[in-house]
Structure formats: C-alpha cells, structure tokens
Amino acid sequence: MKIAIISSNTLPTPPAGVEIPDGWTTSIHNLISEITEGLVNKGHDVTLYASGDSKTSAKLKSVWDVSSSELEKIENQFGYYCYDHILTSYCFEDLKKEKYDIIYTYHTFDSGIYGNLIEAPIVSTFHGSARDDYLKIWGTKIISPNIYIGISDFQINSIPYLHFYDRIYHGIDGDFFKYQSHVNDNLVTVGRISTDKGTDISIDIANELNKQLDIFGTTNYKPLMDELLEKSKDHKINFHGQKEQNIIKHTVSNSKAFIFPIRWDEPFGLVLIESLACGTPIIAFANGSLPEIVEDGKTGFLVNSDESNIRGDWITKKTGREGLLEAVNKLYSLPMEEYLQMRKNCRESFEQRFTKEIMINNYEKLFQKIISEKIEK
C-alpha cells in the first residue's frame, strides 16, 4: 500500500529528547510514530507529513524545518492548529502527483472538510470524548466525513451521532516497558496534573496512608499547582515534572501500584497500558474506558467514583475516596504470592491486547479492507 500519514507539526514525531512545555501531551506524536515505523517495517510505501526535525524511516515531507513550538511560543498547545492545517493541505496538494491509496491522520474532522476534493479515503483516529463541545457540529455537519476509528468501546458508545467504522486499542512497545516483579512500597501516577485526572485525590490517599507518591506530569495552571504543593507539605509526595520515558518507566515498574482516580470519562489512557506492561497493578475510578483496560481483582481494583455513578459491581463496594482507600489497603494486604500473580496478570493482559504489534497489525488490516471495499464517501 502507498500510505500518507499526517502528524501534528506542534512537536517532532516522535518528540524524544525535546523539552515539553508544562501541561502539554506527546501521546499523538508517539502513537503516529509507532504506526508509521510499523507499516514501513511491513514493507509498505509510507510518507510521513510532520515537522522537519522529526525522525522516521518513512519518507519525510515537511512545510517547516522545525516544529511549530520552535517557530513561535504559544502557551496553549492547541494554539498551533494553523500550522497543522497547512501541513494537511500540503499532503492533499501532494496527492495530485503521489496518488496515495489511503491517508491516515489524527486531524479527525479538519481533514474531512476537504475530503470531497480528493479521491483517496481519509482514515482518522478520534482521540477525544463526547464532552468536546465542537464535536456534534463537526461530526454531523461535515460535508465529506472521514472514516472514523475509535480507541475504546466506551468512547464509541458515548458518541452515537458519530459513525465509527471500527475500534482499535492503542499499543506500545513491550520491549521498552519491561516487566518487573521486585518492587518497593510506593504509589505512582503519571499524566497531566489536573482535577480531571484526580491528582489531588491521589495525594490525599497517599497522605492518609502515609505512602510515598511519585507524580509525573505538569500543569501550566499555577493556582492548582500551588494548592497541591501546599497539600503535600510534610508528606511523602514527590513531584517529578515531565521526565524522559526511561525515568518514568523505571519508577512505574518499581512501584507497588499505579493510582488513577480520574474524575472524567477518559476515552483511553496510554499511561495505564504502560503500567500493565511493567506489571504494576492499577487502582482507579471506573470512569470512561477504565473497565476495558483494568480487570477488577486481576490486574488491579476498580472503584465507583460515587453512589450516583455506579459503573459496575466491583470487589470494592465503597465508593469515592473511601473506596480508593479500601482498594489500596486491599492491594497492600495481599499475600506476596497473590500480589506477584497480579503483576504477572498485568503483563499477560498487556501482551494479549495492548502491544504495538497488535495495534499496527489492526491498522494494516483496516487500511487493506477500506481500500478493497472502495468505501463510498
């Protein structure tokens, strides 16, 4: 297949070794890099449209020599969308002479606006959620919609007005995130620091149980950071900021448990499958896609966030903070043999569902199917 893949110009693809501003995410760039390299390794003719400082074994085409964040400083990562629009239009202009079989892009709706102007099918993985206020307008009014791919069953079921062609779970490199059985007594959490992610609740739980908590992530919202720092005074809370994946994976793999008291309906969480790959059990609120990722009692413990938000009949019957405390205590009180089995379960679950090889194979099959079916726009 001759495939065009459009990344974001915001950061290099992948963004390894690049200083990431506070509150930003690199997940899109990392995922697109994995899919690109995997398809190249399978022998496909792949062209990656990304910033000129990206690293890839595919053909690299760029509008600018460096990423948007190097061209001008904008506090909000989404403020760079204009650069991404131009990069996308460059790919579509290229299509006149390149004749790609298929275009894959993370630009879920923006690319679809121009879909009626080109012949090749556009496949977009939607990374957002039903709470995105622009979604209903874009998803229902767009002239020539993309072929949308969901990242979890929960996400697909929560957005009935957006037609999804398929669901493909994210995948990561199991050789990089290695299984570890010998661990310390600490809790860990990874991700953007925010009330949505429940960073404050993680700190409360660690403080109450007198456990060390390692926090990886940043926020550009100073009032929240000041509040969390005050809450952490005289306790075993370590704010590490944004670190390289080598450092994060070492800490996660050596931790007793990954705590994730998320308040919103996360459509998927890459940090969760990284934890599974390391063998680190997850204790989390059962919001969003969490029940698809965490097997209650087998790879961690799920907790209903409150009495009015019952998502399942979990082992832990209490809800909210009390439920989290019960779940954490339950995990810490497991006999060592049972705890080590839970760590093995985590790795096995990862290998069966969330490796990058599975993800890449699924995208390859999807692209081949779409091309062979000649889907009508």
What is the distance between the alpha carbons of residues 358 and 363, in angstroms, rounded to a whole number?
9
Preceding peptide of 14 cis, ω within 30°: yes
What is the distance of C-alpha 230 from the center of its chain? 29
Q: Does pTM top 0.75 for this prediction?
A: yes
Those residues with Cβ within 8 angstroms of residue 165's Cβ, 6 or more apart along the chain or in another chain: 123, 147, 148, 149, 366, 370
Closest CA to 278 of 333, 325, 343, 231: 343
Q: What's the one-letter identity of residue 183? A: V
Upper half-sphere CA count for residue 322 (Cβ side, 13 Å): 5
Token pair recorded at residue 160: 């009935």
What is the distance between the alpha carbons of residues 314 and 37, in angstroms, rounded to a whole number?
39
What is the distance between the alpha carbons of residues 285 and 324, in angstroms, rounded to a whole number?
8
Those residues with Cβ within 8 angstroms of residue 348's Cβ, 6 or more apart along the chain or in another chain: none
Q: Identify the pLDDT of residue 133.
A: 62
What is the distance between the alpha carbons of residues 284 and 272, in angstroms, rounded to a whole number?
10
What is the distance between the alpha carbons of residues 260 and 135, in angstroms, rounded to a whole number?
26
What average pLDDT values come out for the chain (377 residues) when binned by 10 residues?
A: 95 85 82 97 98 97 94 81 89 90 82 75 85 65 72 93 90 93 92 94 97 94 94 95 90 97 94 97 98 98 96 97 97 97 98 98 96 70
Q: Identify the pLDDT of residue 159.
A: 86
Hey, CA dihedral for 39, 40, 46, 51, is it positive or negative? positive
**Three-class DSSP category at 372:** helix
Burial of 138 (0-12, 13-18, 19+ CB in 10 A): middle
Q: Identify the pLDDT of residue 140.
A: 65
Q: What letter does residue 15 receive in the DSSP assignment?
A: -
Q: Identify the pLDDT of residue 377.
A: 46
Q: Identify the pLDDT of residue 113.
A: 72
- Residue in the structure block whose two tokens are 């899919």: 35
